[in-house]
Structure 1
Amino acid sequence: MRRSMFALAAALPASFATSATAEVVPSETGGFASTHTAVVAADPAATWAMLIEPQHWWSHSWSDNSANMSLNPVAGGCFCEVIPDPAGGAPGSAEHARVVMVMPGRTLRMVGALGPLQSEGLAGTLTVTLAEVDAGTQITWDYVIGGQSRLPLGELAPVVDSVQAEFLGGLVEALGGAV
């Protein structure tokens, strides 16, 4: 990754956090979970429409250009990226995650170890849940990681948590900000 996930997480200002709540839950079985929530004024349909268009708000990519991202929101669909060859040759590609559950307007679940976690023996499950609330839509962003890693998971957890907050923050900003 051209922009190191670790360097970016360390450089995030404290004011960047847009979630109303956040929690990292360590696991005794070799993993951790990161949960963030935010409320936006947009209704669930508009929130869903933006959620499934990550090229407008996703912040980390192998090509350093979120316009190269795509998401096919059906079971088996790919959350993928085209990686252009700077020399003009055939482009590369990356599968960031595979869609395993879609309930339009309510739940998107994907499996994949994101970013540099991809090169480890880790499995990740990202579940984004939308719920209608008086102010608009509550977005709950859960990312659960487990497995074996050459990197200490206890040290990775806060970094991954910060990046997950950044992803939710990008979605929230694309929807006009948190309420």
Structure 2
Amino acid sequence: MKYLVFLVVLSAAQLAVAELTVNPAGGYTSVQSAKLPGTPEELYDAMTGDLLPWWDHTFSEHPKSLTLEPWVGGRFIEEFDDKGNGALHATVIYAERPKLLRYDGPLGLSGRAVNFVVTYEFTEESDSTTVKVTAQMSGQIDEEWANIVDGVWHHFLIERFKPYVESGEYKE
């Protein structure tokens, strides 16, 4: 009887076909910081809500909206149009206005076995605020991605957000 059960299990296993590939997991951390004019409250609000004025990496060439909702469970969402098409880039997992905001998700690498945990920290200085962005990337990652990811976060904070704040546009 045991032999018969073994044969049934063996032949059932031969009918099912599966492929298992081991993918090495890795990770990187990028830390960027900038001392900017404004209070932590002002800069927290400037880095959340409507991101279209300063965030320039999107799936859609002309997105309807790009929003980071600054509350736990809030979405970092790109809406392509009014029909419900879009991309959920991340979900807020920690919010403590005006000190810290943290979200996780694939961001621009949606569809790959990759995840980001991104933390924004706001530290008040005498007449300004230091904004620190820590982006931790984990998953199936190519080695050359480390410098690319670091460069992208430098681009967002230093080349896009900093001039946006210094121009005063975020106050309008």
Fold shared per TM-score above 0.5:
yes
Letter in 1 for 2:152: V
Letter in 1 for 2:150: D
Name structure 2 gaps, 5 residues minimum. Answer: 1-23, 168-172
Deviation at 1:29, TM superposition (A): 6.1
2:48 aligned with 1:70, yes or no?
Answer: no
- On the 8 A contact 1:74/1:101 being kept in 2, the answer is yes
Runs of 4+ that moved beyond 3 A? none
- With structure 2 as the length reference, what TM-score do the two structures score? 0.76
Root-mean-square deviation over aligned CA pairs: 2.0
Deviation at 1:84, TM superposition (A): 2.8
2:35 aligned with 1:43, yes or no?
Answer: no
Match of 1:16 in 2: none
Mapping for residues 1-179 of structure 1, pairs under 5 Å: 30-53=26-49, 54-65=51-62, 68-84=65-81, 90-115=83-108, 117-149=109-141, 152=142, 154-169=143-158, 170-176=160-166
Letter in 1 for 2:34: A
- With structure 1 as the length reference, what TM-score do the two structures score? 0.73
Greater relative contact order (CA < 8 Å, ≥ 6 in sequence): 1
- On the 8 A contact 1:63/1:84 being kept in 2, the answer is no
SS in 1 for 2:147: helix
SS in 2 for 1:119: coil
Deviation at 1:119, TM superposition (A): 2.0
Deviation at 1:39, TM superposition (A): 0.4
- On the 8 A contact 1:60/1:66 being kept in 2, the answer is no
CA deviations on 1:95-148 (whole Å, 9 max, x unpaired) are: 111000100111010001221x22211121000000001240000000001112
SS in 2 for 1:56: coil
Letter in 2 for 1:140: K
Measure, in 2, the Cα distance between the counterparts of 1:103 and 1:66: 28
- On the 8 A contact 2:25/2:140 being kept in 1, the answer is no
Note closer, same or farther for the CA distance 1:83–1:49 as it changes in structure 2 (3 Å cut): same
Q: Identical aligned pairs, as a percentage?
A: 27
